[in-house]
Amino acid sequence: MNGYWQRPEETATTLRGGWLHTGDVGMLDEHGYLHILDRLKDMIISGGLNVYPHEIEDLLTAHPGIAEAAVIGIPDEKWGEAVHAVLVASDPAVDSEVVMAYAREHLAGYKRPKSVEFLDALPKTSYGKIAKRELRDRYWAHLGRAV
């Protein structure tokens, strides 16, 4: 890759020291295998702890009443960011209380959504991926934070 078309600032950030910085977050296991956990831009830092939205999204969509999930960090005065789940329910009986109970069963406290919102559909990019930036902007734009 030589760079982004007509985006020199983004090229300079991504191509540094002869390396392509993808923004992926990964870990090496005890056998030396690399596991991609999430994207750096998607990681939530809540009370100094790293929360990987993909892990929570996978768990939430395993629930039979949840069709789609997007997990984002939203402003929180105490923790810096709080975990927020934006969901599309496939069962009308699934509400915030059901989701919170399910999360309490399966997630450590710092990973649990502190709030839940339901939409009829999640916003998507032209490639069909969930447009998390659009979801985050509603919470962060008034603070002037780039997300």
**Terminal C-alpha separation, the chain:** 25
Domain spans of the chain, in order of start = 1-40, 43-143
Sign, CA dihedral 84-124-36-61, equals: positive
Residue 144 has what pLDDT? 59
Running DSSP on this structure, what letter comes out for residue 119?
-
Residues 37 and 23 sit within 8 Å (Cβ to Cβ): no
CATH topology of domain 43-143: GMP Synthetase; Chain A, domain 3 (3.30.300)
CATH topology of domain 1-40: Luciferase; domain 3 (2.30.38)
Of 51, 118, 60, 116, nearest to 79 by C-alpha is 51
Residue 10 has what pLDDT? 84
Q: What angle do CA 35, 41, 42 make, to 5 degrees?
A: 70
Quick check: pTM over 0.85?
Answer: no
**Amino acid (one-letter) located at 84:** H
Residue 140 has what pLDDT? 84
Residue 78 has what pLDDT? 94
Residues 133, 131: Cα–Cα separation, whole Å: 5
> What tens-digit pLDDT sequence spans the chain (147 residues)?
888 899 898 888 889 998 888 777 778 889 999 887 666 678 899 999 999 999 999 999 999 999 999 999 999 999 999 999 999 999 999 999 999 999 999 999 999 999 999 999 999 989 898 999 899 998 888 765 545
